[in-house]
Amino acid sequence: MPGPLEGLKVVELAGLAPAPFGCMVLADLGASVVRVDRVGGAPAVPGDVLGRGRRSIGVDVRRPEGAELVLRLVAESDVLVEGFRPGVTERLGIGPAQCLARNPRLVYGRMTGWGQSGPLADRAGHDINYIAVAGALEPIGRAGQPPTVPLNLVGDFGGGGLLLALGLLAALYERERSGRGQVVDAAMVDGAALLTTFLHGMSSVGAWSGGRGGNLLDGGAPFYDVYEAADGRYVSVGALEDKFYAELVTLLDLADAPDRRDPAHWPELRARIAAAIATRTRDEWAALAEGTDACLAPVLAPGEAPAYGHNAERATFVEVGGVPQPAPAPRFDRTPAGEPTAPPTAGADTDEVLAGLGLTGDEVAALRSAGVVA
């Protein structure tokens, strides 16, 4: 697929969520990604589209012959990505030492929740656990309520897959100077913690109280929150700066609103804003706010987002294999990304990939008969 990463060769050991997302980003931007699926494997999550833009080879990596096929792929690739617990790939014979011995220029990406070291490194966990101990979950939610689970966006994808992709590209950039590959240890707890950097800075100067739902950016401020419209749907308000707040006041006809700079007035101001927004539907407010800097926008469901005017004009979403989904991002003026292809079925490209490694048809047939490949 075209894009700024065209020519980059990636081997992905099939997994869930964060590592596939990181590899999806690389594939979206032009990298050639071969996913190593289990023999007889099937998608663990129905409808998962994170595997788009790949080729798939079915290999039993528990067999020495299967591990050798991975090493042969590695010898001709730039990157390998795995998302197992620490030590698993070493036991399979495809760990960093084995792969780097075969290809010293390889960048070996490891995607885990806890990281490759520390007392929790070999423990099970999921996104919610990683963001909890990173300090990223506690601040999210309403005052007086438990923390709100932000889907799996903060750990799996923001602090996981995206951090992994960045780390891989950084290591590839360094390789241009040193000529050597290295291991990238991407941990969701580290990435989720990194995403809270701004909060730590605000807290250090007293601009973040630490109480959930009572601060400037967590729904505590009435001019940075969501409000229910007349039709039961919602609009978002983000009028932080004075000039934008002035436009919001004009839009909502709140000329006599109380001084927003004094938090003591926030309950009254919130009630006034809520009452004003409750007089029109979500889409009526969206239409009125267009062309203004009032920082008011409709809260759209994922299924509504592709048809929203701005998104449609920019082609922010595409349809791949009949499924609407976000388009590759970011955008490049000289080397734009192509349109992604649908995720392959497990093993769909086994023959083609193995032929590219120099295996004959008879050799592939023998491996398939032995259950090494599918």
Distance CA 284, CA 298 (A): 9
154 three-state secondary structure:
helix
The H or E element spanning position 58 is strand 54-58
Burial (CB < 10 A; 0-12, 13-18, 19+), residue 252, is: buried
Handedness of CA 206, 212, 217, 222 (dihedral sign): negative
The H or E element spanning position 68 is helix 64-75
The H or E element spanning position 185 is strand 182-187
**Residue holding tokens 């001084």?**
259
The H or E element spanning position 247 is helix 242-252
Residue 23 CB coordination number (10 Å): 33
Distance CA 301, CA 303 (A): 5
Distance of CA 249 to the CA centre of its chain: 36
Q: In the numeric block, which tokens belong to residue 198?
A: 């701004």
- Candidate list 28, 37, 60, 156, residue with the active-site label: 156
Q: Which of 147, 153, 203, 173 is nearest to 18 (CA)?
A: 153
Active site residue 156: yes
Q: Which amino acid is located at 206 in the chain?
A: G
- Residues with Cβ within 8 Å of residue 53, at least 6 apart in sequence: 1, 24, 27, 28, 33, 340, 341
In 169-305, which ranges are E strands? 182-187, 224-228, 234-238, 296-298
Is the previous residue joined to 330 through a cis bond, with omega within 30 degrees of 0?
yes
Q: Any idea which residues carry the catalytic annotation? A: 126, 156
